[in-house]
Structure 1
Amino acid sequence: MKKRKWILLILSLSVMSFVLIACGSDSSENEVKEEEQSETTETETEEESAGNEEAAEEEAAEEETLEFLSMLTGGTSGTYYPLGGEMASIITDATGVQTDALSSNASADNVVALQNGEAELAFVQTDVMDHAVQGINSFDGNPVENVQAIGSLYPETIQIVTKKDSGIASVEDLAGKKVSVGAPGSGTYINAEQILEIYGMSMDDIEAQNLDFGESTGGIQDGNIDAAFITSGTPTGAVEGLAATVDVAIVPIDEGKIDELIEKYPFYAKDTITAGTYGLEEDVVTVAVLAMLAVTDNVPEDIGYEITKAIYENAGTMAHDKASFITTDSALDGIGIELHPGAKKYFDEQGVSQQ
């Protein structure tokens, strides 16, 4: 009997031991789980905090950037600069963001400045912008990926300017002459290359001079150069200044060559400089590209929308002659790159879309 009691006692103690061990194991597992959950929560909290800090920093940087907008234009004697000044005032009033129009070396340099984050807005030729996005010509191997379009503005006429008594009456007559073609890589330079190419010529066939518009017309007036390629809206201030001192001639481009040029480079269009401009006695047939306004992709959608709306709805208040060309009807002509979301929103509201 006593032996049975001892056996029962031993069995009871064994059961209690197992129960205590199990409870201890469950407690340990629960502690481990609680520690893991605590660590996970702390990690998530830290990540969330870091994310919030990063978002706050980005928002602060964005707000700082938008205290001012820099608009790159062109030389002071061209069309970009005076027209850009008017636009900058309108944008400032519409957005509340101080916008300054700055003189520059125009198209190619403007795109590089946008690419490098040195400005937010810029005047650019549509052909140069196309080359930049494709990474060709002066952008060979360095395609631009952070620039979008606001819209087209007006035709930029390729004007081959010379004196009336220079003896230069055709593009072929430029051979062997001192001819200003703008800065290497500039829109004017590329236009000169492509027009010479259509005539079976190259820069090697002329004595190329890399001058800006003011230097070009000054050089023609002084007799230091014979002619100049000037790509700008007409009338161009520098050429008007030249016409006030000497009789000016504009070298025409043959109709057949215009067709060849447009077939090879579709961003060109036939254009005419009308009689009376610069004192010309007859219309002169030539070609044009389009001026456009480009913007960096870090400009917020709402600001891009207000910029676009301000320009196209206030063009009628601008004093510059070229403002009459700034309409929603032609705003997307020649635009081969992506529109800024704000610009797209505005044009969608107007029922205008890219072809």
Structure 2
Amino acid sequence: MPLRAILTGLILIALLPLADAQPKAQYAQPKAQYKIVTASKAGTYIQIGRDLAKYVAEPAGVELEVLESKGSAENISRMRFEPGVKLALVQSDVYQAFLDEAKAGNPDAGNIIRPLRLIMPLYDEEIYFVARADSPLESIHEIRNKKIGVGPIGSGTALTSRTLYQLMFDEPIPAASAQYLTNEEALAQLTVEKSIDVAIIVAGQPAKLFSDMKPEARKYIKILKLDEKAMESARAMKTYFPATIRTSSYPSWLTEDVPTLTVKAYLVTYDYGLQSTVGHLVRFADSLCTNFDKLQANGHPKWKQVRLELPPLRQGWRYYAPMEKRLRSCIASQPAAPAYTSSPPPRTRPCTEQEMVLGICKR
């Protein structure tokens, strides 16, 4: 065979893999490796994080690792300093507490919070004040000077517990009264060891911790009620808002709806400027908007309470501009979605004449 023909054949063979690989190189873009910090494995945050990873991050070309944490306060610090953490779930009172500390001149708080940015508000998280079933306590404002499981150090629950106590009683919780325990530890010390009187737990309903309880749970625990007429409750409601823990969330053991307080959850990021990171987060924002219906249909029930909107923020709070721009553009192009309303509790009394006249009698 002539040398020229051999060389031509070898060149063609050498070019075949290149010709085959080139189209793949155009489309096989490596996924960004990001992390989101949430809360304990029995809480709502971690389920929200998993929903974001599956229905939002994956279609956006982001591999989102969902990490457990102690809660919001730790999440803010990890969002700021831990490599790879690009997203965090944070309670509104915790975020505001960092801003207040920064404004008061705390340099560490300012260094942590000032570069952080909000993506969007999510939903309200209910605050559970859990006591033993045989406890004489009935209402939230009766917990003064009781031994309280306030959540782990570094958690949003701990900050919420301390803030609520300060608001209600105009004094900090006594050091001897506060026990820094996980949710599971607090319930064990409440019901088994009986070394605390109340466990404060912050979680969006239905929370796995309570959903997994059997009917016998009502023999051991109860949830204290918010008495809106109490002076202490009025003080608390300057920062927190009234809410209801519904029997439909825990039908196996909760026998009646329980009025309580609530705090808002936010999705948070950092003020990134690196082009590749901005690009991935912008795609995440696009995916969040276009796949929002999947989150509401297939994700945790709390997604049904989330509205795809960017409301005005209080002073010192800022949205992440690149994601805000894309979300506002996408939201503007969407048909208006009806606001979520929970099913009303079953009526236990006859309708009044006034209710029938007003058309608000639901039998």
| Paired letter, 1:304 | L
| Paired letter, 2:179 | Q
Unpaired segments ≥5 residues, structure 1: 1-62
Corresponding residue number in structure 1 for 2:269: 295
| Paired letter, 1:130 | Q
* Residues 131-170 of structure 1 aligned to structure 2 (within 5 Å): 131-135=97-101, 140-141=106-107, 142-143=109-110, 144-170=113-139
Distance in 2 (CA, whole Å) between partners of 1:260 and 1:67 is: 46
Q: CA distance change for structure 1 residues 132 and 235 in 2, over 3 Å: closer, same or farther?
A: same
Pick the aligned partner of 1:209 from 173, 176, 179: 179
Q: Does 1:127 align with 2:86?
A: no
| Paired letter, 2:255 | E
Corresponding residue number in structure 2 for 1:112: 77
Give the share of equivalent positions with the same residue, in percent. Answer: 23
Distance in 1 (CA, whole Å) between partners of 2:145 and 2:182 is: 20
| Paired letter, 1:319 | G
Distance in 2 (CA, whole Å) between partners of 1:243 and 1:220 is: 17
Corresponding residue number in structure 1 for 2:347: none
| Paired letter, 2:237 | I
Pick the aligned partner of 2:222 from 249, 256, 260: 249
Corresponding residue number in structure 2 for 1:271: 243
SS class of match (1:90)? helix
Structure 1 residue 108, shift from structure 2 partner: 0.4
Q: CA distance change for structure 1 residues 140 and 100 in 2, over 3 Å: closer, same or farther?
A: same
8 Å CA contact 2:71–2:157 kept in 1: the answer is no
Distance in 2 (CA, whole Å) between partners of 1:170 and 1:179 is: 14
Q: Does 1:323 align with 2:303?
A: yes
Structure 1 residue 193, shift from structure 2 partner: 1.8
Larger Rg: 1
8 Å CA contact 1:155–1:288 kept in 2: the answer is yes
* Residues 77-92 of structure 1 aligned to structure 2 (within 5 Å): 77-92=42-57
Instruction: Name whichever structure is richer in helix by fraction.
Output: 1
Runs of 4+ in 1 over 6 A off after TM superposition: none
TM-score by length of 1: 0.71
- Between stretches 108-117 and 310-319, larger displacement belongs to 310-319
Structure 1 residue 281, shift from structure 2 partner: 2.8
Q: CA distance change for structure 1 residues 176 and 318 in 2, over 3 Å: closer, same or farther?
A: same
Unpaired segments ≥5 residues, structure 2: 1-28, 334-363
Corresponding residue number in structure 2 for 1:304: 281
| Paired letter, 2:320 | H
Structure 1 residue 195, shift from structure 2 partner: 2.1
Give the number of aligned pairs: 285
**1:55-103 deviations in whole A, cap 9, x for unaligned?**
xxxxxxxx99x73111111000111112211211223322212111111
Pick the aligned partner of 1:232 from 186, 200, 203: 203
Pick the aligned partner of 2:259 from 285, 292, 310: 285
Structure 1 residue 137, shift from structure 2 partner: 10
Corresponding residue number in structure 1 for 2:32: 67
TM-score by length of 2: 0.70
